[in-house]
Amino acid sequence: MALIEVNNVTRHFKMGDETVRALDGVQLSIDEGELVAIIGPSGCGKSTMMNFLGILDVPDSGEYLLDGKDTKKMSDDERALYRNQKLGFVFQSFHLLPRMTALRNVELPLVYSASYDKTHSLSKMKEMAISAMQRVGLGDRLEHQPNELSGGQRQRVAIARALVNNPKLLLADEPTGNLDSKAGKEIIQLFQDLNRQGATVIMVTHDPEIAQRAGRVIAFKDGKVVEDRANS
């Protein structure tokens, strides 16, 4: 069974008289364990698609089955639970909490996990967060606040936050956009490792080299899937 099953999904934004068709009849199926790259020109609807895959946004029409479950029928709390336990999301604009150290930013999903898992101890939470920070190469920046970090470092904190709960589905919106090619490669290596360990990874990228390392590339244009190919 496919992990993600998207059927004829549309998402339109009304801007005055004009309607922006950010998603315009998207048909997609992604299996568990895939490593997928989404490419396409700016403004073609990639971020809109990712928000929607991360059950942060709801489509105007169409159907989205996640893990065999109709997301429309999920309650608000169920969505929160799924996002917390099974999903890691790297936002294009990072979305870190200011005035909070990198470590506490990374701990954030675990704080809410404690509502579901009473065995979450403070020391275990900290341990998991430190380990995630080390995996993105920021073991020495734990106590820095976002405004004391470089753009690339912030991006990596955002990635560490997405990884901290060992998600089965990792959604990354241009995770290497602010990184030099060396750091970018390290991140892709990390994603590939996670993928080998069983996680499904979907990432948006503008970098053809990175797209090349994904098992499958989906190209968007004007809110539509225009190409869907497997890399050899």
Partner 1 sequence: MPIREILLLAYEALMSNKLRAGLTMLGMIIGVGAVVLLVSIGNGAKNYITSEFEGLGSNLIMIQPGKTDSKGTMGPPMGNSKKKLSLADLEALERQSFNLDAITGLMFGTAAVTRTEATSNVTLLGVNDQFIKIFNIKVGLGQFISREEDDSARRVAVLGNKTALNLFGDEAPIGQWVKINQSEHRVIGVLAASGQTLGFNMDDMVMIPTRTAMRLLNDDKLFGLRAKAKSKVGIDDAVDEIKAILKKRQNGEENFTVTTQLSMLQSMNTILGMLTFVLGGIAMISMIVGGIGIMNIMLVSVTERTREIGIRRAVGARRVDVLKQFLFEAITLSMIGGTLGLGGSTLLTYAVYWFVPSFDMRAPIWVLAPAFLMSLLTGVIFGVFPARKASKIETIEALRYE
Q: Which is nearer to Mg ion, 46 or 135 (CB)?
A: 46
Task: Yes or no: say if 129 and 161 are a contact pair by the CB < 8 Å rule.
Answer: no
Question: What are the angstrom distances between the C-alpha of 129 and each of 33, 149, 184, 195?
Answer: 24, 17, 21, 20
Two structure tokens written together for 7: 């059927």
Based on the shown chain and the rule CB under 6 A, indicate whether residue 18 belongs to the binding site for ligand ATP.
no
Q: Which does 142 bind (CB under 5 to 8 A by kind): Mg ion, partner 1, ligand ATP, none?
A: none
Q: What is the DSSP letter of 2?
A: E
Q: Which is nearer to partner 1, 110 or 211 (CB)?
A: 110
Determine the angle formed by the axes of helices 102-113 and 76-86, rounding to 10 degrees: 130
Q: Angle CA(183)–CA(186)–CA(187) in degrees, nearest 5?
A: 90
Within 8 A by CB and 6+ apart from 186, the residues are 137
Based on the shown chain and the rule CB under 6 A, indicate whether residue 208 belongs to the binding site for ligand ATP.
no
Q: Which does 99 bind (CB under 5 to 8 A by kind): Mg ion, ligand ATP, partner 1, none?
A: partner 1
Give the x-and-dash track for 62-101 against ligand ATP (CB under 6 A): ------------------------------x---------
Amino acid at 206: H
Q: Which is nearer to ligand ATP, 6 or 128 (CB)?
A: 6
Nearest distance, CB of residue 80 and partner 1, angstroms? 4
Determine the angle formed by the axes of helices 181-196 and 151-163, rounding to 10 degrees: 0
Based on the shown chain and the rule CB under 6 A, indicate whether residue 205 belongs to the binding site for ligand ATP.
no
How many residues sit close enough to ligand ATP to count as binding (CB under 6 A)? 13
SS3 of residue 76 by DSSP: helix
| Interface pick for ligand ATP out of 48, 153, 155, 178 (rule CB under 6 A) | 48
Q: Which is nearer to ligand ATP, 43 or 139 (CB)?
A: 43
Q: For the residues of 104-133, what is the DSSP string, one character each?
A: HHHHHHHHHHTTT-TT--HHHHHHHHHHHH
Contact stretch for ligand ATP (CB under 6 A) within 38-46, 114-122, 194-202, 211-219 = 38-46
Q: Which does 22 bind (CB under 5 to 8 A by kind): ligand ATP, Mg ion, partner 1, none?
A: ligand ATP
Q: What is the binding site for ligand ATP (CB under 6 A)? A: 13, 15, 20, 22, 40, 42-48, 92
